[in-house]
Amino acid sequence: MAREATAGFRNASWTMTGLPSDVAVTVHPLQTQDGAAVNGFLYAKQSADTVLCIMHPREFLATHYLVPDLVSAGYAVFTQTARSVGNDMRLEHEIALLDVAAGLNFLKSAGFKRIILIGNSGGASLYAFYNQQSLKGAAERFDKTPGGRPTGLGEATMPVADGVVFVSPHPGQGQILLKCIDPSVTDENDALSVNASLDFLSPENGFQEGPDGSKYTADFIQRFREAQSERVTRLDSVARNMISERLSARKRAKDSGSLSDRRKGAHTSVMTIWRTDADLRCWDRSIDPSDRKLGSVWGKDPFATNYGAAGFSRFCTPEAWLSTWSGHSSRANLFETAKAVEQPCLLVDYTGDNTVFPADCATIFETIASSDKIRQRFRGDHHGRALEKGEEPGRTAAAKAIVEWVRDKFG
């Protein structure tokens, strides 16, 4: 049987040969305001003057599933990499905004009249954060990351987008982790340490194998979520102490010339965050019910996904933890940044999403400040794939909705 041609991330099922013949594909190496290198991929017909941008802080989206339908409708599409693509160990969202700005400045210089941001999944919290900062005066922008690094945002040229689209928008990597970090870890240096009273994989707490999934009590859910927040608070403290110790060593080395302190000041330790696939909503579908399948975006076996090597925030610097993964410290929080979205806005969510849940999407939509906003829901999983064999994928309906909305708002 012939294999389907695939390319890129977000489950793309197309190659360049599938694009309309009059669409040109060009690659653009870009330099950010602070000198970092990023890349942009521009898909455009010669007559296009409206460009739709797609970006993620960690992922490579050059062949995002929405591209073919959007360019076929006559719009240019610009997919962009961040400096942290493929490796988020040092990802600080404030610095990633400089990457976004590099792309939008290029598009402005290329002559596009209208720029629309399409934030998909983690790209939503990135673009919403960028939008918030771009609407502020230079002196009002964040001048330091949560870890204390100068951002350079005050010196950056940050073009303002004309419209914003959110597709399966999770509320931010920190907010996601706040609900999926395992609070039963008792020792951060022991990946197998377990507080039995908070173990979501214990039958005594409601865990059940099989297609029906688990059933957790309201009391357990409350205790579990409180403990999740407490673990994040402890990790915030660990991160800040690591940064403080390094900076203190640098100062001592400068004052005394100590070789030992110079080494300590130069060394950047990396945090290892074990067990981060414990969102109860993935294993108990009665919590904020939807069309989602049992399991998380990482898989169907919670022992494998929660105890395995792959997972959210597994290895990161303390600065990246505070800026990106901490639900208490990260500013890339869509529940907050949506308050700054004053442009026309479309929100698309999928009914079977196991990363973005209905209550979160409802809160995000309510928080969007714009009076010109629309929400549309389609059957599909987090990537817009069909939930059942033979169904039209939700991503197809999402692309149609985006095209119709752009035409209505911008022509």
Inside any domain, residue 4: no
Q: Of 264, 294, 320, which closes a domain?
A: 320
The pLDDT of residue 12 is 62
What's the whole-model pTM score? 0.95
CB under 8 A, 24+ apart: contacts of 289-292: 289/358, 290/351, 290/352, 290/353, 290/357, 290/358, 291/351, 291/352, 291/379, 291/387, 292/351, 292/352, 292/353, 292/354, 292/381
| Burial of residue 257, with CB atoms counted within 10 A of its CB: 0-12 exposed, 13-18 middle, 19 or more buried | exposed
Shared-domain flag, residues 23 and 117: yes
Shared-domain flag, residues 272 and 218: yes
Inside any domain, residue 253: yes
Which amino acid would we find at residue 184? S
Shared-domain flag, residues 278 and 184: yes
The pLDDT of residue 16 is 81
Give every strand in the sheet of 37-44, ordered side by side. 24-31, 37-44, 76-80, 50-55, 114-120, 163-167, 345-350, 373-378
Q: Of 289, 320, 351, which closes a domain?
A: 320
Inside any domain, residue 8: no
| Burial of residue 140, with CB atoms counted within 10 A of its CB: 0-12 exposed, 13-18 middle, 19 or more buried | exposed
* Domain, as residue range, for 293: 177-320
Inside any domain, residue 325: no
The pLDDT of residue 88 is 85
Shared-domain flag, residues 156 and 235: no
The pLDDT of residue 3 is 41
The continuous run of DSSP H or E covering 164 comes out as: strand 163-167
CA distance 202 to 346: 41
Which CATH number is 48's domain given? 3.40.50.1820
By DSSP bridging, strand 114-120 and strand 50-55 are parallel
Shared-domain flag, residues 53 and 134: yes
The pLDDT of residue 352 is 97
Inside any domain, residue 355: yes
Token pair for residue 111? 């002559």
| Residue 271: DSSP 8-state | E
CA distance 378 to 83: 32
| Residue 323: DSSP 8-state | I
The pLDDT of residue 261 is 87
CA distance 362 to 49: 33
Instruction: List 77's β-bridge partners, or say none.
Output: 43, 52
Inside any domain, residue 7: no
Residues of the chain with pLDDT under 70: 1-13
Shared-domain flag, residues 111 and 80: yes
pLDDT by residue (tens digit) across 141-157? 999 999 999 999 999 99
The pLDDT of residue 374 is 98
Identify whether the C-beta of residue 337 lies closer than 8 Å to the C-beta of residue 129.
yes
Shared-domain flag, residues 54 and 132: yes
The pLDDT of residue 371 is 97
User: How is 357-400 classified by DSSP, letter by letter?
Assistant: -HHHHHHHHHH---SSEEEEEES--TT---SSTTSPPHHHHHHH
Inside any domain, residue 5: no
Shared-domain flag, residues 27 and 112: yes
Number of domains in the chain: 2
Identify whether the C-beta of residue 338 lies closer than 8 Å to the C-beta of residue 346.
no
